[in-house]
Structure 1
Amino acid sequence: MTRGPAPPPISSLARAADRLSFVYLEHAVIHRDANAITSTDQRGIVHIPAASLGTLILGPGTTISHGAVMLLAESGATAVWAGERAVRYYAHGRPLSRSSSLLEEQARLVSNRNLRLAVAREMYAMRFPGEEVSAPSMQQLRGREGARVRRSYREHSERTGVPWGRRDYRPDDFAASDAVNQALSAANTALYGLVHAAIVALGCSPGLGFVHTGHDRSFVYDVADLYKAEVSIPVAFDVAKEPLADVPTMTRRLMRDRMTELHLIERCVRDIQHLLGSRPEEGEGELDDGVEADVVALWDGADEVVAAGTNYGEEDVDW
């Protein structure tokens, strides 16, 4: 029995902020070759360095080996299983972080009404720089956000000459929507993939949202909404102005270019840390405290922890 290649040490892996945004694969067979992922289809074989990959989106027709999944997990790359044209989300892999510190802080903030409200307002403040967000109610802020998004649609419609009516999202019949709505769906899916990768890489929960709630990706939608007006909306209108047969493919390519140009995954990591109260040192892309730690502790009943892996039972004590 062969053991296979040793897992790469965490210290050799790229920081979450420095990784590739996403790679989307469909109708391919995915294997492992040493510390690289290989994708094989009718055009040949492509090698993808797992240690620098943010998220691998697996579309329909993909077959992935046990070794490839294991490498993605060891490398801290998020594997996201998606449906046709990547408009449905099914599952994801394990995080890069070995620490639960940021997750515990996220849970603390979302569980306290006043703290949750403060984080939600900060999210709106990030969308409305220079505007007052402490006085309006959440309902008023939602209305302001809706007006901002509608204005963005109109502006990019005028910029590109692409007619705009309304948002028409049909996950069960993707082709029934017009080109700009198809492009918006594909662009948002790519954005969700990148945001999801950043969230789980930091050890946070995709389901503990502050504005969105009740869904296992609520926090993904919270964070993605920070960037839609800057990223996915303009990309969708740029795609729709060209006569294209394959809107989703071109959308994903332009999204990758735009994400790289804006250093979006680095911004996403920093924004998540900012929202959850973390303040990494200048020049650092992610938490220093605990990201590489692989330590399990026991809760001591108050605010203290003790080491795990220790027998705390007293000898000759009859319980």
Structure 2
Amino acid sequence: MVARNRLIVKVTRESLPRVKDKYPFIYLERGRLEVDDSSVKWIDADGQVIPLPVATLNTILLGPGSTVTHDAVKTAVAANCSISWVGEDSLLFYAAGFVPTADARNIKRQVELAADPERSLEIARAMFQRRFPDADLSERTLSAMMGMEGHRVRALYREKAELYQVGWKGRRFTPGKFQLSDTTNRILTACNAALYGILCSSVHALGYLPHIGFIHSGSPLPLVYDLADLYKEHLSIDLAFHMTRQMAGQYDKHEVSAEFRRRAVEMNLLDQVERDIETLLGGKKRGRGRRQ
């Protein structure tokens, strides 16, 4: 096949979609991700070959039983499609591949902001203001705002439980013992993990580091957790109680995944993430396919 038909040659920075124009993610398990002369392809456990349009994907979530070739990773990176390694149905987030950028101007700005106590607190306040639009946070410490958030989330759980008439005994999850949780907690865990994977990919793609946050600290992905709190009410909490009632308390991972994906696409999550990061951190605007 002639070179012009190869995906890695065909795709250019100028022709790549922006973050907001891409499909959020695709989850794959029990198969092999590789590349042939024309495209990245997924070969599942039954031998079916499925071409993947990586230039229109924001991230590929690789689940259990999956392998990936060097050429597939190289081609995905050339198309600015991130790869994340996750647990079954994205219940756990393990790692993400970095999409390299030409320079680090956004990372440099992020580090400067995080290292300045006053500016870092200003960004944290702006994030909390999204959840407390009517509150005066100008004199609040980070600890005080985190306490407010804890009360808000607990009240939100109770509110959604009452709205959907679902029994609720509190947020509980033991790593490695997913099956022991009740249905609502299982859905919360699954949706949170999927959200973390998408946000990690988006943060990398926009030229920032997920390891440097403004509210969370001492965790693997502070900035991802900071951002996730902006979207969890709709994509995790409301979804969990809604689906618990709809499934009559019987957990169905396929229904949960479908509803999460529907909501993420409906709210144009990737567009929202890009706008929120640019607003909060004031970095240079950058197209998905335009490396810094």
| TM, length-normalised to structure 1 | 0.83
- Percent of pairs identical after alignment? 32
Q: Which residue of 2 aligns with 1:172?
A: 176
Matched, 1:29 2:35: no
Q: Which secondary structure state, in structure 1, belongs to the residue aligned with residue 94 of structure 2?
A: strand
Matched, 1:273 2:275: no
Q: Which residue of 1 aligns with 2:60?
A: 56
CA distance in 2, matches of 1:162, 1:105: 45
> Which runs of no fewer than 5 residues in structure 1 stay unpaired?
280-285, 295-319
How far is 1:254 from its partner? 0.9
How far is 1:216 from its partner? 2.8
Matched, 1:45 2:43: no
Aligned residue type for 2:8: A
Q: Which residue of 2 aligns with 1:248?
A: 253
Deviations 1:8-64 (A, max 9, x none): 211111101111111111112222242444342338333321011111111111122
CA distance in 2, matches of 1:94, 1:41: 27
How far is 1:293 from its partner? 5.0
> Which runs of no fewer than 5 residues in structure 2 stay unpaired?
none
Q: Which secondary structure state, in structure 2, belongs to the residue aligned with residue 214 of structure 1?
A: coil
Structure of greater relative contact order (alpha carbons < 8 Å, 6+ residues apart): 2
Change (3 A) 1:159 1:216: same
Greater helix percent: which structure?
Answer: 2
Deviations 1:263-300 (A, max 9, x none): 11110111111111137xxxxxx426x97356xxxxxx
The answer as to whether partners of 2:196 and 2:225 remain within 8 angstroms in 1 is yes
Deviations 1:235-256 (A, max 9, x none): 1112222147653332221111
Q: Which residue of 1 aligns with 2:290?
A: 292
Q: Which secondary structure state, in structure 2, belongs to the residue aligned with residue 10 of structure 1?
A: coil
How far is 1:233 from its partner? 0.8
Q: Which secondary structure state, in structure 2, belongs to the residue aligned with residue 38 of structure 1?
A: strand
CA distance in 2, matches of 1:243, 1:28: 32
Deviations 1:101-149 (A, max 9, x none): 1111000000111111111111101222232111222222112111211
Aligned residue type for 1:16: V
User: RMSD over aligned Cα, in angstroms?
Assistant: 2.3
Q: Which residue of 2 aligns with 1:16?
A: 19
Q: Which residue of 2 aligns with 1:144?
A: 148
CA distance in 2, matches of 1:19, 1:70: 19
The answer as to whether partners of 1:103 and 1:205 remain within 8 angstroms in 2 is yes
Aligned length: 286
Deviations 1:51-107 (A, max 9, x none): 111111111111222222111111111100112342332221222643311111000
The answer as to whether partners of 1:179 and 1:240 remain within 8 angstroms in 2 is yes
How far is 1:214 from its partner? 2.0
Matched, 1:210 2:209: no
Aligned residue type for 1:270: R
Please identify, of 122-131 and 2-11, the stretch whose mean Cα deviation from structure 2 is larger. Answer: 2-11
Change (3 A) 1:243 1:42: farther
Larger radius of gyration, structure 1 or 2? 1
Q: Which secondary structure state, in structure 2, belongs to the residue aligned with residue 105 of structure 1?
A: helix
Match of 1:87 among 91, 108, 124: 91
Aligned residue type for 1:231: L
Aligned residue type for 1:263: N
Q: Which secondary structure state, in structure 1, belongs to the residue aligned with residue 126 of structure 2?
A: helix
